[in-house]
Amino acid sequence: MMSLKERKRLNACIDRFPSTRILVVGDIVLDHYIWGNVSRISPEAPVPVVNVTKESLLLGGATNVVQNIHALGGSVSVCGIIGSDQAGSQVLQLLRSQHIPTDGLLVDEGRPTTIKTRIIAHSQQVVRVDRETKDVIGKDLHRLIFDQVKRHIVTGLDGIVISDYCKGVVTSDLVHDIVKIARKNNIIVSVDPKVSHFNMYRGVTILTPNANEASIGSKVDITDKESLLRAGTLLLNRLNCAAVLITRGELGMSLFEHGSKVTHIPTVAREVFDVTGAGDTVIATLTLAMASGASMTDAARISNYAAGIVVGIVGTAVVKQDQLKQRIRLG
Q: For residue 322, what is the domain's CATH number?
A: 3.40.1190.20
Query: Residue 121 domain-assigned?
Result: no
Pairing state between β 48-61 and 28-41: antiparallel
Report DSSP state, residue 249: G
Query: Residue 49 domain-assigned?
Result: no
Q: Please, which pLDDT band fits residue 183 given cuts at 50, 70 and 90? A: very high
Q: Which of 27, 108, 274, 280 is catalytic?
A: 280
Query: Residue 55 domain-assigned?
Result: no
User: C-alpha angle with apex 13: 294 to 62, nearest 5 degrees?
Assistant: 80
**pLDDT confidence of residue 247:** 92
Lowest mean pLDDT among 246-250, 266-270, 299-303: 266-270
Number of folded domains in the chain? Answer: 1
Give just the sign of the alpha carbon dihedral 167, 277, 176, 95.
positive
- CB half-sphere exposure, 45, CA atoms < 13 A: 3
Burial 2-15 (b: 16+ CB within 10 A, else e): eeeeeeeebeebbe
pLDDT over 70 for what percent of the chain?
Answer: 95
Global pTM value: 0.92
Of 277, 226, 238, the closest CA to residue 62 belongs to 277
pLDDT over threshold 50, residue 221: yes
**pLDDT confidence of residue 276:** 55
| Active-site residue, 177 included | no
**Distance, CA of 228 to CA of 239 (rounded, Å):** 17
Average pLDDT over residues 226-249: 94
User: Range of 223's domain?
Assistant: 4-29+60-113+133-330
DSSP conformation letters of 184-201 = HTT-EEEEE--GGGGGGG
